[in-house]
């Protein structure tokens, strides 16, 4: 119970930390709305030429765009979460202090990132999504069960996203400079998550391959759950499976790094 209260407090602290950046949040809302408009009109033109591309009609494609804008910062799809800070702490040796805390390094940063993601969903994600639903034809369900399933899918996506970024951050134990790893994170996040184009619209066999990767748990699965295109339980199982795998690999990498690697600067 004590550990649960500790990590709940860390999550609450992460929420409050990002809630203080009100101007940045407002700028993020504006940016996501503008990019949503650009993508929507691009998608409408594409779906005019290729009706039912990827099995979506135009309303579903528009829904996909606005959900993507709601989750872009929430899931730190191109980075922007804790990973750069942790890599800097590894570079300077400050991570040694983290390792001496009476708390697990992986769970500490997970709790902090869940707090950050929760704020970004509420503070930066809701407005663009509501704007899109108000001014464009969307395929939003009337069934409250699907909305509840969407929240579960987003929660699991937060953990999968954290697992990917935690591994990227741990690469700082072996790399002199984490800039390259962060840039790879940006590219893979944009391409493999389906932020640029739904994964089910990719040509085959590439489409089948990317649907098996963990990035598909970030946007594609929540979108298909919301629009009733996939059984929620199978989506949850896929997301939870990748969450377990990534956290397990992250645990192994953390142990290997702290046992055998000399912290830079520490």
> pLDDT tens across 106-129, in order?
999 999 999 999 999 999 999 999
What tens digit of pLDDT does each residue of 91-102 get?
Answer: 888 888 888 888
Contact of 225 with 232, CB cutoff 8 Å: yes
State the pLDDT confidence band at 178, using cuts at 50, 70 and 90. Answer: confident
Q: Give ∠ CA 36-246-182 in degrees, rounded to 5.
A: 55
3-class SS shares of the chain: helix, strand, coil, % to 5: 75, 0, 20
Distances (CA, A) of 114 to 25, 102, 257: 17, 20, 24
Distances (CA, A) of 252 to 89, 114, 169: 19, 21, 14
Q: Residue 77: beta bridge partners?
A: 79
Distance separating alpha carbons of residues 194 and 77, to the nearest angstrom = 10
What tens digit of pLDDT does each residue of 214-251 get?
Answer: 999 999 999 999 999 999 999 999 999 999 999 999 99
Q: Give ∠ CA 243-246-248 in degrees, rounded to 5.
A: 105
Neighbours of 137 (CB within 10 A): 14
Residue 184 structure tokens: 């790879």
Contact of 11 with 106, CB cutoff 8 Å: no
Residue 77 structure tokens: 């799809």
pTM: 0.93
What tens digit of pLDDT does each residue of 151-170 get?
Answer: 999 999 999 999 999 999 99
Neighbours of 206 (CB within 10 A): 10
In the prediction, which pLDDT does 106 show? 94
Question: Which of helix, strand or coil describes residue 230?
Answer: coil
């Amino acid at each position: 119970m004590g550990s649960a209260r500790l990590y709940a407090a860390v999550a609450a602290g992460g929420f409050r930390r990002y809630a203080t950046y009100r101007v940045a949040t407002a700028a993020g809302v504006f940016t996501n709305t503008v990019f949503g408009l650009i993508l929507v009109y691009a998608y409408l033109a594409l779906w005019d030429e290729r009706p039912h591309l990827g099995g979506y009609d135009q309303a579903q494609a528009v829904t996909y765009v606005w959900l993507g804008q709601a989750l872009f910062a929430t899931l730190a799809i191109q980075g922007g979460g804790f990973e750069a800070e942790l890599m800097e702490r590894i570079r300077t040796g400050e991570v040694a202090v983290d390792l001496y805390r009476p708390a697990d390094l992986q769970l500490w940063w997970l709790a902090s990132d869940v707090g950050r993601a929760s704020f970004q969903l509420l503070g930066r994600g809701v407005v663009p999504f509501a704007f899109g639903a108000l001014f464009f034809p969307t395929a939003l369900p009337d069934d409250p069960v699907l909305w509840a399933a969407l929240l579960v899918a987003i929660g699991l996506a937060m953990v999968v996203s954290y697992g990917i970024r935690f591994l990227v951050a741990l690469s700082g134990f072996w790399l002199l400079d984490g800039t390259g790893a962060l840039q790879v994170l940006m590219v893979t996040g944009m391409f493999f998550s389906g932020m640029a184009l739904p994964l089910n619209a990719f040509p085959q066999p590439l489409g089948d391959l990317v649907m098996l990767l963990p990035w598909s748990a970030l946007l594609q699965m929540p979108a298909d759950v919301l629009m009733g295109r996939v059984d929620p339980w199978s989506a949850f199982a896929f997301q939870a499976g990748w969450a377990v795998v990534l956290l397990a690999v992250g645990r192994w990498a953390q142990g290997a790094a702290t046992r055998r690697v000399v912290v830079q600067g520490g």
